Structure 1
């Protein structure tokens, strides 16, 4: 028998060294020092490491925190506890021989300890999941995952016994499955989850609706792709609580949950080695609604789009002039007041009132009574009247006051101050001795003043005309001032500088789509508007103005009105009327921040019908048929009365023709599920393409689910295919949104009509689909609806971000669509009969 080859001693030694490097643990008696940032305890693949990082924000002289950090230096856990205790440059982290982990300052004083000195700890490990573990050889004695500070990473188990803390703020999950943010462990200012208290009016405690689900041991998990979900053994599947905005994008990206010092809970993402973090989701969208953000008696407001803190009036002063977030104090306390106390009137201001304050501090009284009752009560320090006709009044007992001020608020608040509130000083009077002359001959003075004003105005106007008459944009300026009168109904021409000012330099983003980004604006006449900054516009000035004029000529109650436009150089912007309730998608789909936005069936059906009427006007009632090309819930906006208005119509013609196909393919990622098959089959796009998109939107309106969703509930089939099978089996109630009470609130006859119409609209052959006018008649019940044939699943193309992938996708889509092209061309234009009029 041949002898087996023996391994070389050098190779064995190399393997042993490599194995010891991978599995090596930190032994007791090892230390890290703040003045040596390069010294760390790293995980096997160096994804995480334990070491010292500079304090954030930086201090002078510099201080450091002992933290577990992701590759690049983003902290996910700190040894200083919930307050991120920092040490000076002489500080150290000692893994003592007793097994205790101890953080000391430069003086040697201990500032934090793991308290594991007598538990037999023999080694320390930093795992590739970010968990810092103290072991006794066979079991885990202590771990950072069991003692979280302000952050949570994927693979970290977070149950009802765990709490994230940052200063006075805390975050946790309750036994009922609710995620909650609290101030000082008492004021619950945000909640979301399976059993959240959903308030139709967040300031009305009587509008609370509680959803109850029996849970045994709920836990929270953050997936590496950016999904925050709640799990429990009594739930068939995990309930999604939030999505990261960069969901499933990129590789080597850490997404982590963090409770920031401002009291807001956020999901961040950090690319490996970058050392930076980017906000991807926030629990509280309005930072000023975080309780205590500006400290006691501080008032939160906005400067442009950033929250700022201030005091109620000059009767108060900042506790710390260097940090306005530490709150305010009265210059003279009420107990030290030499005279009587009075109430300071604060317009457009509200003192935040959250549970459990509702039960004891809410009354239904008039505005003046709300003020006076607090003034005479020793147990009341301030009060807020909503001033919206409800009669709601909130009394605030002495303790902690957190205020929010905004010009959009109708509420009025009052706070006790010592003595009278001093008004602003009036301008000092001059020439008092000459007052007699004013009384004797006032007409002389009036004549001189008016003559001077008119002369100056005439001089200024003449100079302006002389210097500007030969400027190329002089005619545009003249047209602008003529259009401001709105007499002709023509669109107003705005300058780019005006819209920059109206949008606060494009700070407040409302949304974005295939044609550009939309921003909130306040025009010079104080009207709130939405400004869309168009992208990919290559048309000349004259052609652009003609297309804008065409859009403005369309007037219908179910179309968003175009107010004006801007065309300066490369800048192309459209100004629309503002829709208070946003887009339909925020009400239909249960995404982060929208769990309480639920439309009843009556409202949904009216929205579907209104949308159909708006599209019908574009297709059949305009002088020229306008094909929308991008019907989806995001482009259906709702006004204050939840009246549906279609937006972005006519914009497809503004895109340069040679770029049209590229733009369409590029936008597949944003509107997948709504594109008709002819888009991807390189066939002519007609108004029937809008009908297909509307059918998908109608099905989503009924179900509250995205039409392209695939889940266990749909037997892993595309939702539209599964829904048709349920329809054929007579299980129409299974298609209806589960959040609606079918037996009480839903008109099943309307549901049946809507579902059948949606299946007719999403037929693969354009000629099988009805015209939008027929769709309206079928929804209204004027026409009977025959049973629709099964719709085919539309082909989908995965589009990457580079041009070569786009070209490849286009080629493959055209190839796969070749048989469909043949069937389209041979099909008769009459198609299958859709409906017959009632006798």
Structure 2
């Protein structure tokens, strides 16, 4: 009693008897210190391994600050100005001691053992093994990785006795884990036990009184561990690698980066990219409030009125905003939902989504856009309410500019009145000559302006899309009148051609041309922004009259379909093709701002370059080809793939998601492995689907008690030189991809992880 620890003395540190934990002053910023507990190893004095902080919201100065235990049994943290910034609020007439236990618990107790205070009862953002989370405690995240003050995410037992995560922001609060639309029983929880206790043990098992439990990926080994609610809204368990002396994630509550609420703030939404993580985007017509803090969201650049005729709606597909609904109705059409929003002055838009279980559409009108995220699996669309005046302002500006330009070329004439007849004749002759000269000049100027405008338009298209606009005559000449056909599909015919710069190209002539050039260019621009090593590269396009053509790089080794019938593809090439195709589909599904489904994965659309690397072709053409005038932009339910590769969703007219590509990919992989095609020919030449290949592989795999089943199904031309373990993995992945239930199929990013 009556002792203290000084911030200026690095040796003033408490250490547990087993030396696993340390307690003392920890630098958390420039001249900013907190009294904390941390794992002694592997990173000494590092905020990354901190388990508790006394003064996270009020750091003290690096000079003269002290942590003191007074004679009356109280603990104080005093800054340089002798101001108390933290206290244990304890008192004892009997002698007391402060000990740091082997489990990381800092305990103030009397000599006979009575505990007056312990750090386990006041957690910050971390639990260590043996430390209970109770009805009286909660974990609160930090504001950021470098700002350790209290943040907006809480991990706690709610009033229904269920352990969950909540975003508790300055203006709103909302729960997001477990899924808030599920009742506790559907989420695997029970709310009957009101004792509210959750504990992680040193083996990696966490269990709580609401029937929630998990084991870490390294369960069964006694390791240093810590459970932490982090500034990104997720809960993770970290385990220490004793060999590499570092921490690694052994469990996390949420696998998708955009599930936590409050990440991006109002009027914005979260986009998760597997390679680079998540990012936030403002809604159209909005701007970021604070460039250093996305949680403040975005603010509108317009004002809405109550007049329904002055509003329009902008479609934002696959973007969901959870909560803060003004109305919810079960509805069948878009127009009724739009009308419901227009009747309410406070309505800022609405969400139109499909219900799998009840097979109808749900309409949610929104008074606020919060907790937004874009997800390819979300079967719905958000419609943002905007003033119509915004859409006309740009056109009006263009019209006024054009009018000014016309006025500037008008000629100002002054006619001189004369009294002499011969002067009149001379004047008339001169005026006629001058007028003719003016007409010639105007015609020449008009031709010059048109030529420059055409050049500028083509330059704009090249800069805006990254590829060239070709004329129809150029491509007709390049293909020698479309004479050498190298491929054919539902979308059109592909011809080989040689461009004017002597590059060999594959030129696809689309069958249907119901779009105008501007709309076609907008769709092509989406494809032009894609960039992946396993995507066929687009060089240009043609949109002239009714003609619509696409110009691609030429693949000298043809398609996978052509090569499967030859002996050119050994095991390593086939595995590389399977992995490359999986990577590019994961890119299209999850890593693009535009959500793109291929809808026609088959061996004919997987091309091979000089090194037999896969290049997927015909991607995104489901957006380019409008097969039905009544087909809405948010629906692709009428578009079909190729028989034998189509998922069951097409047949049963279910909503189409990225899992249709997963199914087609699985069929292609089975063809590569077995050498058997899922399509055959009947007498009249039409294709038929042969589903027996999938069932045959399943039977061979299920009936065999040894590994010989692999040899029984692989194609003879693969030979014996293959990796048996990788082959088993590849076949297992393919069978998972062709499950009838789409929810049982993996995502393409999961396929990539399994194959790598």
TM-score by length of 2: 0.54
Alpha-carbon distance between aligned partners in 1 of 2:74 and 2:244, rounded to the nearest angstrom: 33
- Tell me by how many angstroms 1:323 deviates: 3.1
Q: Report the more deviating stretch, 308-317 or 110-119.
A: 110-119
Cα-Cα RMSD: 5.8
Q: Specify the SS of the correspondent of 2:176.
A: strand
- 1:481 aligned to 2:453? no
User: Which among 692, 699, 710 is matched to residue 612 of structure 1?
Assistant: 699
Number of residue-to-residue matches in the alignment: 512
Secondary structure of 1:288's aligned partner: coil
How far 1:402 moved relative to its partner? 1.5
Specify the alignment match of 2:330 in structure 1. 364
Alignment partner for residue 53 of structure 2, among 64, 74, 78?
Answer: 78
Query: How far has the Cα of 1:612 moved from its partner?
Result: 3.4
**Aligned-pair CA distance for 1:266:** 0.9
Could you tell me which of 74, 98, 105 is aligned with 1:131?
105
Measured after TM superposition, the shift of residue 257 of structure 1 is 0.9
What is the aligned partner in structure 2 of residue 406 from structure 1?
375
* Corresponding position: 1:247 with 2:334: no
List per-residue Cα deviations over 1:224-276 (Å, max 9, x = no partner).
021111259xxxxxx66112122234x6x311111111111111113469874
Q: Which residue of 199, 223, 226 corresponds with 2:204?
A: 226
Gaps of 5+ in 2: 142-150, 406-443, 452-469, 481-496, 507-553, 603-610, 613-643, 648-662, 676-693, 747-753
- Return the alpha-carbon distance in structure 1 between the equivalents of residues 376 and 392 of structure 2: 21
Q: Specify the alignment match of 1:101 in structure 2.
A: 75
Pairs within 5 Å for 1:430-509: 433-434=446-447, 457-461=498-502, 480-483=557-560, 503=583
Instruction: Using the TM superposition, name which of 122-131 and 402-411 deviates more.
Output: 402-411
Q: What's the CA shift for 1:144?
A: 1.0
User: Is the contact between residue 316 and residue 383 of structure 2 (CA under 8 Å) also seen in structure 1?
Assistant: yes
Q: Does residue 270 in structure 1 map to residue 240 in structure 2?
A: yes
Q: Select the structure of larger CA radius of gyration.
A: 2
SS in 2 for 1:563: helix
- The corresponding residue for 1:116 is 90
Q: Secondary structure at the match of 1:188?
A: strand
The alpha-carbon deviation at position 621 of structure 1 amounts to 7.9
> What is the CA-CA distance between 1:330 and the residue it aligns to?
2.1
2:152 aligned with 1:168: yes
Q: Does residue 641 of the first structure (1) align with residue 740 of the second (2)?
A: yes
Give, in angstroms, the shift of residue 220 of structure 1.
1.1
C-alpha separation between the residues in 2 aligned to 1:220 and 1:345? 44
Between the aligned partners of 2:203 and 2:601, the Cα distance in structure 1 is 36
Q: Distance in 1 between matches of 2:702 and 2:664?
A: 8
Counterparts of residues 165-564 of structure 1 (less than 5 Å): 165-166=140-141, 167-174=151-158, 178-184=162-168, 186-191=173-178, 197=183, 212=190, 214-215=192-193, 217-230=195-208, 241-249=213-221, 253-271=223-241, 276-332=246-302, 342-353=312-323, 361-365=327-331, 366-387=333-354, 390-398=360-368, 401-417=370-386, 420-422=389-391, 433-434=446-447, 457-461=498-502, 480-483=557-560, 503=583, 526=598, 561=666, 563=668
Matched residue, 2:23 = 50
Per the normalisation by structure 1, the TM-score is 0.49
Displacement, 1:285? 1.2
Contact 1:295 1:326 in 2 (8 A): yes
**Most deviating of 294-303 and 180-189:** 180-189
Distance between the aligned counterparts of 1:406 and 1:216, measured in 2?
36
Return the alpha-carbon distance in structure 1 between the equivalents of residues 448 and 354 of structure 2: 43
Alignment of 1:409-808 (within 5 A): 409-417=378-386, 420-422=389-391, 433-434=446-447, 457-461=498-502, 480-483=557-560, 503=583, 526=598, 561=666, 563=668, 611-612=698-699, 615=702, 637=736, 639=738, 641-642=740-741
Distance 1:480 1:635 in 2: 25
Partner Cα distance (1:268, 1:220) in 2: 17
Q: Does the aligned pair in 1 maintain the 2:305–2:345 contact within 8 Å? A: no
* Pairwise CA distance, 1:134: 1.8
Question: Is the Cα–Cα contact under 8 Å of residues 588 and 597 in structure 2 kept in the other structure?
Answer: no
Q: Deviations over 1:320-350 (max 9, x none)?
A: 112334422223465899x956544322211
Q: Distance in 1 between matches of 2:291 and 2:246?
A: 30
**SS in structure 1 at match of 2:350:** strand
Q: Which runs of 5+ in 1 are unaligned?
A: 1-26, 200-207, 233-238, 439-444, 466-476, 511-518, 531-540, 543-553, 566-572, 577-606, 648-669, 671-839
